[in-house]
Chains A and B, each alone.
Chain A
């Protein structure tokens, strides 16, 4: 009986990771974009585009690697569009981002519904995709009690997400190109005057960031076993990622923690009932909380963080100073 309860906890931890790693992809990608000084509100749409093309192409090629590559490239292509409009053509970032979301979701449903009318590729028919997405235990660590199975027995894309987040932290804080990128986001004029190619820097990082978002979308598609319905695979995760960037204070390492916090609430919504049943004494009250509160919590928390950080006027905020403003060289 006691072991069973621990099993519930392990499954809970496992679910936090499995269902919320896409948030990490979206967030880390958006951090990279925002660090270049661009506020991209198109995360939801970019993830959707990456998801649908990654899934379909990956299935037809019957290769997870091809799927990953396609999702990344399609995301990066969306990024290229965003960069061309906002960096080169000086278009408003909010409008461009929002349009990218509308457009991306339009493409998602157009392609998805169109293919569904002919023949939808079912994930089960593609052995390599299924095997590639199967869980891999990390030797040693996965044998730890309770948390081992929950944290260290996951599919490839979970590990990849964490690796990308850590690598991004290192890149931003410990390398010269990362330093240049941060300079561009803080003060593009100053960066330009010391010889940083601002345009190129923005283009590259917007594209890479959006590519990472596309990967997150692909993960979500696989996680749903590729079943296509009237609700989008991304289902608002892109917007939560935008919120999570703020919560993580523009720090990719903090984003891992933030993903756990937001994921915790998200998982309580889905399997809080299981916890309440396993621990009726201590956690029985969980069953009474409306699921919509859990859905709203990431946004409530982020709103509070936004207000709190603006009240304190802290100097250690990770928000790039030039966020949302286009850089026009002639006006330097």
Chain B
């Protein structure tokens, strides 16, 4: 920013003694320099953001989930995140980006960006006018990677690896690409910024990422069934240390996820950064207090789970709400998700092993609805002067948000069920009882996570 100012000042003083023909050229040079500086700033921030979001998957989520499972499944669980870094990337490069962000119907993109044709240094003004489209593409790829990785929380410790690869591939095509297109793609049904019929405010992916994966996770948990011995046999996290490290990496990485969704190094990015951080903090505290009151001791698992719940809930709201509402959204998410993973899960008895539904599905829904309440044009004038959420006087936005949630959930439920049926027919989804008892590290990967003999 100060480089822009000093450049301007210098050129203006130089202008004072310039000839008329010179003036035009100098103004044009000034303009170019300013744009170039802004672009450089935007691109630098976006590349860092992309790296931060990838870090959320590896090692953030890998560690977070890895620590929560039993020792005999630690590698298999980490692999469920890691392999997606590779698999989704290749799919995205060939056709994924095109289906998500290409030009097509309100429901899915077309083939115009297949094999990343025309995705290069030139910006795509529909999405991000100041950065190369390739930057936008690689940034979005990191979202595409982490979304399916979240689902693995539901079927941890009992899913066949071959089935995972097939499942994830199909899930990208049937659920993620359509949802990403609907919310963020040009012409998408729910795209508020680009004229969607049902404008839904989802700044960084509460619906696209968290509701789709969270609801899909529930379907998986129900379809695959409970782990052998659940809930009577103790299945404690084998390393809360790994999980805590993972949760911290998720928190830091989330700045790339939310603030990076501003697609520029702008004051909106700052606003989203602040909202994100505040929500995480408030949620960690509220879950901790809720648990302390309920069980008598504030667990570390509770505190870190709370922070993740807050981060999930603020995801759709991050670029639309003020800091104080962000604290409120976080606090609400902490308590709500605490109830979901303790009371509700116990009541219905499903084995959502790592609470993908309880935190991401539920937290994402809460966040999306609260976005309809607290979104304000004072933070983000996306609709050119029109009111955004309830606080702006547009209470009806909550209904649009609900529609977005319903579509995400519907797509997740139907898509996932169909995909599970296919996978079961082709390779069989659930590990055999012997494989489950031996542990997936050995049975699926022929390895052990920890070999303490020297």
- B is a partner of A: no
